[in-house]
Amino acid sequence: MSSLARVALAAPVAVPRARAGRCCPRRISAAPKRQHRRDVALGSATVASRRPAARRLLVVPAAVLDAAADGAPAPLKDDAPSTSPLAVLDAEPVDTFVDVAFSDGASFRFHALWLRDACADANHVVADAGERILSMLPVNTGCDETLRAATCDVDDAGGLVVTWDNHETPSTFSARSLRAYADVVAAPVAKRPAEGILAPEDENEHPAAWLEPFTGYPDAPGQPPSRIDYFKNEDGVSFPRYDHDAVLADPATKLAAMRDLMRAGAIIVDDVPENEKDSTTLHAFVDDVLGGMQKDPCRDERNWKIVKKRGASSISYDPEKRLNNHTDQSVPPWGGVPALVLIMHYQKGSGCNTLVDGFAVAEALRAEDPDAFEMLATYGSNQTRDFVSSRKDTTQALDASLCVHKREPIIQLDDAGAVRRIQYNEVFRTPLELPFDVFPRWYAAYTKWVTMIHDPKYEVEVDMRAGKMLVFHNWRTLHGRAGGRASADRTLIGGTVTREAFFSRAAELLEETEGVDVRVMGTNVKH
């Protein structure tokens, strides 16, 4: 019997939040939607409002620069401007700028050309296609940095209507979206005392804050420790658990599953309907909850399939052997960027997977041996994966070749030194391209890393069986397999989800459930 603590998988729906060493049971099916509406006074009227965007997070509320076919702001998907707590109180053209005063007490100076370029009303963007009308581009209508607003008016919904000095088509903006962008793109003009409508918001509580590390922008930060539940085996681990049907039934629960995945490093999906014959159950879940599975050019199916094969050459197909903990590579066309999420579905039989929190190990290494941490964060580790050879034992047809070569540091940091990503897979490591004097130090650090990620102190065993899915954060959580613990009939299917797909789906769900729009999140002008 292993001395490692096991992750028990018996409870059907109860959902413990995965905080290392703690377990707070909750029931996913009862997970309440975030409730950000509240009554606020706006003039003499009382209207329902959504929580305002955080000042520094720069998440734009829904319907940014919404469309308006007749010059008036069009209704938003679920929150029309007429119910917005924000309104434009006053606006006026000033040279090549437009000064706008909002009902929250803030005033900003916008470049007239920025407004003209950003306008997405029906005169400028085809709403249902989400495409700009090219004939209305500023560059095609004689607009440049000398552009001036002719008039500024406030419409009945509190939105801004601007006419221009060089053509007849006006531009309309909702106050709420314009105010959200103001923190990023405009210059504060004056600050009147707030009228009590929009209290400053705690950035940590913003419903989209957890997504900021996954924007894909070059300066995207790593996940802050405050949003990570580090895990290690010696503390005992209970990953968040979700009932399969409950997740699919509710957008807020899908979003909660995605958020928990990033916070906890892994989630478990229980009560997956039996399906031994094809991968439709897996794909339906991934498409609806995670944004869709990545397509591999080597085969027709998006998912991989692993069944036990006697005498297999590839360790992936021989569950009698121990599979070292690793992160998975990813494939083009996303530049070989490691997939953000991995999912596996036990269709048949049982087995034991291992998970290690790469962020926890990296932080431990940083604390214990800063020089080793520096080595692994500075120099690349050569890896080559041949996607055909490494699958020679598969039962799936492979009809194209693909070989991915990488030389990325095992520990990858953001600009501030926070751990952003772990990238390591021993079986695909190739001769190191390290300078003569660096090699001994790097190799000592690497040896320490490999030892740590297989230390029972960190390595968690997860017993899996048919009817369960295991989803994990591939930029953080290393996965492997305990040798000799799989049933003879184990049939495992799975695949990867790109950052792009995950982020896109999360943004969609955030807009649907929380009324926020993430379009300007992560820009490097935010602070």
Beta carbon nearer to Fe ion, 328 or 514: 328
CB 405, CB 332: distance < 8 Å: no
Tell whether residue 328 is a contact of Fe ion (CB under 5 A).
yes
Q: Does 212 bind Fe ion (CB under 5 A)?
A: no
**Choice between 279 and 325, CB closer to Fe ion:** 325
* 3-state class (DSSP) for residue 364: helix
Distance CA 153, CA 159 (A): 8
Are 34 and 293 contacting, i.e. CB atoms less than 8 angstroms apart?
A: no
**156, burial (CB in 10 Å: exposed 0-12, middle 13-18, buried 19+):** exposed
Task: Give dist(CA 161, CA 73) in Å, integer.
Answer: 9
Q: Whose Cβ is closer to Fe ion: residue 243's or residue 318's? A: 318
Instruction: Evaluate whether 285 touches 244 at the Cβ level (below 8 Å).
Output: yes
Which residue lies nearer to Fe ion by CB, 164 or 346?
Answer: 346
Residue with smaller CB distance to Fe ion, 328 or 363: 328
Q: Which of these ranges, 20-28, 215-223, 324-332, 433-441, lies near Fe ion under the rule CB under 5 A?
A: 324-332
Q: What is the DSSP letter of 226?
A: G
Which amino acid is it at 192? Answer: R
3-class DSSP state of 269: strand
Distance CA 157, CA 321 (A): 66
Q: Dump strand ranges (E) for 446-490.
A: 460-465, 468-473, 477-481
Smallest gap from Cβ 280 to Fe ion, in A, equals 23
Which of the ranges 43-51, 252-260, 270-278, 327-335 carries the binding residues for Fe ion, by CB under 5 A? Answer: 327-335
Task: Tell me the residue number closest to Fe ion, measured at CB.
Answer: 328
CB of 327 to Fe ion, least distance (A): 8
Q: Which CB sits closer to Fe ion, 173 or 449?
A: 449
C-alpha of 110 from chain center: 31
**What is the C-alpha separation between 216 and 293, in angstroms, rounded?**
18
Nearer CB in complex with Fe ion: 329/412: 329
Work out the widest C-alpha separation in the chain, in whole angstroms: 80
Q: Which stretch binds Fe ion (CB under 5 A): 86-94, 114-122, 325-333, 504-512?
A: 325-333
| In the complex, minimum distance from the CB of residue 337 to Fe ion, in angstroms, rounded to a whole number | 16
Cβ at position 320, least distance to Fe ion in Å: 17
Q: Give the residue with the Cβ less far from Fe ion, 66 or 328.
A: 328
Q: Return d(Cα 36, Cα 78) in angstroms, integer.
A: 14
Backbone angles phi, psi at 407, to 5 degrees: -145, 65
Nearest CB to Fe ion, comparing residues 172 and 316: 316
Question: Under the criterion CB under 5 A, does residue 318 sit at the interface with Fe ion?
Answer: no
Nearer to Fe ion, 65 or 492 (CB): 492
At closest approach, how far in Å is the CB of 133 from Fe ion?
46
185 vs 398, which CB is nearer to Fe ion? 398
Which one, 173 or 346, has the nearer CB to Fe ion? 346
Stretch that binds Fe ion, among 27-35, 142-150, 328-336, 446-454 (CB under 5 A): 328-336
**Minimum distance, C-beta of residue 328 to Fe ion, in the bound complex (Å):** 4
CB of 342 to Fe ion, least distance (A): 7
Q: Which of residues 280-309 bind Fe ion (CB under 5 A)?
A: none
Smallest distance, Fe ion to C-beta of residue 201, A: 40
**Pairing state of beta strands 60-61 and 88-94?**
unpaired
User: For the stretch 304-332, what's the b/e string if a residue is b when 16 or more beta carbons lie within 10 angstroms of its beta carbon?
Assistant: bbbbbbeebebbbbbbeeebbbbbbbbbe
Nearer to Fe ion, 328 or 461 (CB): 328
In whole angstroms, the minimum distance from the beta carbon of 8 to Fe ion comes to 24
Site string (81-120) toward Fe ion, x via CB under 5 A: ----------------------------------------
Count interface residues toward Fe ion (CB under 5 A): 1
Give the shortest CB-479-to-Fe ion separation in angstroms: 6
State the minimum distance, in angstroms, from the CB of residue 46 to Fe ion: 55
Stretch that binds Fe ion, among 169-177, 240-248, 326-334, 460-468 (CB under 5 A): 326-334
What token pair was written down for 249?
């039934």
Question: In the complex, what is the shortest distance from the CB of residue 481 to Fe ion, in angstroms, rounded to a whole number?
Answer: 9
User: 3-state SS string over 314-359?
Assistant: CHHHCCCCCEEEECCCCCCCCCCCCCCEEEEEEEECEEEEEEEEHH
161 is written with which tokens? 């209507």
Contacts of 463 (CB under 8 A, 6+ apart): 6, 7, 8, 9, 350, 351, 352
Element (H, E) at 136: none
Sign of CA dihedral 72, 73, 76, 81: negative
Residue 96's contacts (CB-CB under 8 Å, 6 or more residues apart) are 111, 112, 113, 145, 146, 147, 148
Minimum CB–partner distance for residue 256 and Fe ion (Å): 26
Stretch that binds Fe ion, among 212-220, 321-329, 470-478, 484-492 (CB under 5 A): 321-329
Distance CA 30, CA 413 (A): 37
Q: How many Å from the N-terminal Cα to the C-terminal Cα in the chain?
A: 53
Shortest approach of Fe ion to residue 368 CB, angstroms? Answer: 27
Between 270 and 328, name the residue whose CB sits nearer to Fe ion: 328
Considering only the stretches 131-139, 164-172, 176-184, 323-331, report the one whose residues sit in contact with Fe ion under the rule CB under 5 A. 323-331
| Binding footprint of Fe ion on the chain (CB under 5 A) | 328
